[in-house]
Amino acid sequence: MKAKKTILLICRLLVGAVFIFSSFTKGVDPLGTKYKMLEYFAAYHIQWLDPAALVLAMLMILAEFLIGICLITNICPKIAVIGCTAFMALFTTATFFDALYDMVPDCGCFGTAVKLTNWQTFYKNVVIDVLLLPLLINIKSLKCKLKPGTQFLIGLAYALAFMGFEIYNYRHLPVVDFMDWKVGKQMNAQPEQEQQIYLIFKNKETGKTQEYLSPNYPWNDSVWMSQWEFVDQRVEGGVSYLGFSALDEDGEDVTEMILTTPKLFMFTSNDLSEVTDKGWEKAKTITEKARQNGYEVIWMVAEMPEDMKAYQEKHPFVEEVYYGDELEIKTIVRFNPGLILLDEGLVVDKWSAIDFDKVWERM
């Protein structure tokens, strides 16, 4: 009996710890989870769910956290095990098909903190299933000494606290940044020899992949860009620029120029149509003050050059514009629009549009 209790305790703590870690790495970056969810919607042809992706992502992360914390603290253990079983049935099935057919290159189960191959993710889920099995078999013996009402209130407190954590990270950027463009990171590694970057795109309908030598891909063909999406890249020669490449309106690579410029404010946007009037006003104020104080100001966008003209006519302060892949821009600053301060490739600071008013507080 004692050995059985010990086994159940170990299983409960291990499964709970994995769920808490997984929910934290995603909860610290809810927009990243939204983007990953959109990839799954596309892979399973359920894009009608796209408008609800952010809400669904945050609720899924919250549910994952509650399952983990309830298992760790033994609050509502039976409900936690049932919820965990439902999660693992879904995740194990989805990751099996991912591994078999490469439907989504990276499941994002640990956000951007830990990268696993599809098969590694599937095997990880199998291990969790094995640990979960004793809990499921002995679910009737799982009990909490606290009254049901007390357990509910404790669970509600955990839920409200974690939801607040998610909302904060969504509005003000991740409190822990697991991406390449984290504050303090030096981005301008100098190539030791001529470097060739191969970009891999996937057809949204057929799933077929095609590789192109950057920048020799149809980036200025709006029809092609709507049918294909960037999924990965590989580098030959030199030192990688950490997954970042920028082009001017003529298709010339300006990556090195951006990453060697001192005192550079770079606004980022993966979709300018989503920028609010208030966001434009804040960007204008920052641009004017930055230029007065000797800073360079540029924009990095995912628009087509011909579409950018209309935005520049409406907002004349947007002068120097460069173009990049939507996925790459999303990894620079999660919020749309965002702002990053670079100094010869060193990431000095980053802000979401909500915090544009705070840009000069630490200058």
Q: What is the total count of domains within the chain?
A: 2
Within-domain flag for 181: no
Q: Where does a domain end: 129, 157, 172? A: 172
Alpha-carbon distance 256 to 199, whole Å?
A: 18
- 0.85 exceeded by the pTM? no
CA distances 242 to 181, 182, 188, 191, 331, Å, are 9, 12, 9, 12, 11
Q: Are 12 and 139 in the same domain?
A: yes
- Indicate the burial class of 45 (C-beta count within 10 angstroms; 0-12, 13-18, 19 or more): exposed
Residue 205: CATH number of its domain? 3.40.30.10
| Mean pLDDT of the residues in the chain | 88
Letter for the amino acid at 279? G
> Using omega within 30 degrees of 0 as the cis cutoff, is the peptide bond preceding 105 cis?
no
Structure tokens at 195: 């470097």
Above pLDDT 90, what percent of the chain? 54
**Confidence check: pLDDT of 239 > 50:** no
Q: Which pLDDT score, from 0 to 100, does residue 240 have?
A: 47
Q: Are 210 and 281 in the same domain?
A: yes
Half-sphere exposure of 91 (CA within 13 A, CB side): 23
Q: Are 253 and 307 in the same domain?
A: yes
Q: Are 302 and 325 in contact (CB under 8 A)?
A: yes
Q: Are 154 and 204 in the same domain?
A: no
CA distances 316 to 102, 127, 145, 280, 354, Å, are 44, 57, 66, 11, 22
What is the tens place of the pLDDT at every residue in 249-296? Answer: 888 888 889 999 999 999 999 999 999 999 999 999 999 999 999 999
Within-domain flag for 353: yes
Q: Which pLDDT score, from 0 to 100, does residue 90 have?
A: 92
Within-domain flag for 258: yes
List of long-range contacts for 291-296, beta carbons under 8 Å, 24+ apart: 293/363, 294/263, 295/263, 295/264, 295/265, 296/261, 296/263, 296/264, 296/265, 296/320
pLDDT band at 62 (very low <50, low <70, confident <90, very high): very high
Q: Which pLDDT score, from 0 to 100, does residue 190 have?
A: 52
Q: Are 303 and 347 in the same domain?
A: yes
Q: Where does a domain end: 172, 207, 240? A: 172
What is the tens place of the pLDDT at every residue in 121-164? Answer: 899 999 999 999 999 999 888 888 899 999 999 999 999 999 99
Within-domain flag for 98: yes
Q: Are 32 and 155 in the same domain?
A: yes
Q: Where does a domain end: 172, 207, 237? A: 172
Q: Are 280 and 148 in the same domain?
A: no
Within-domain flag for 185: no
Q: Are 208 and 346 in the same domain?
A: yes
Domain of residue 342 covers 196-362
Q: Are 201 and 167 in the same domain?
A: no
Within-domain flag for 28: yes
Q: Are 107 and 231 in the same domain?
A: no
Q: Which pLDDT score, from 0 to 100, does residue 195 have?
A: 63
Q: Are 132 and 216 in the same domain?
A: no
Q: Which pLDDT score, from 0 to 100, does residue 325 have?
A: 86
For residue 342, the SS3 value is: strand
Within-domain flag for 122: yes
Element (DSSP H or E) covering residue 228: strand 228-236
Within-domain flag for 99: yes
Alpha-carbon distance 118 to 240, whole Å?
A: 24
Q: Which pLDDT score, from 0 to 100, does residue 238 have?
A: 52
Q: Are 153 and 102 in the same domain?
A: yes
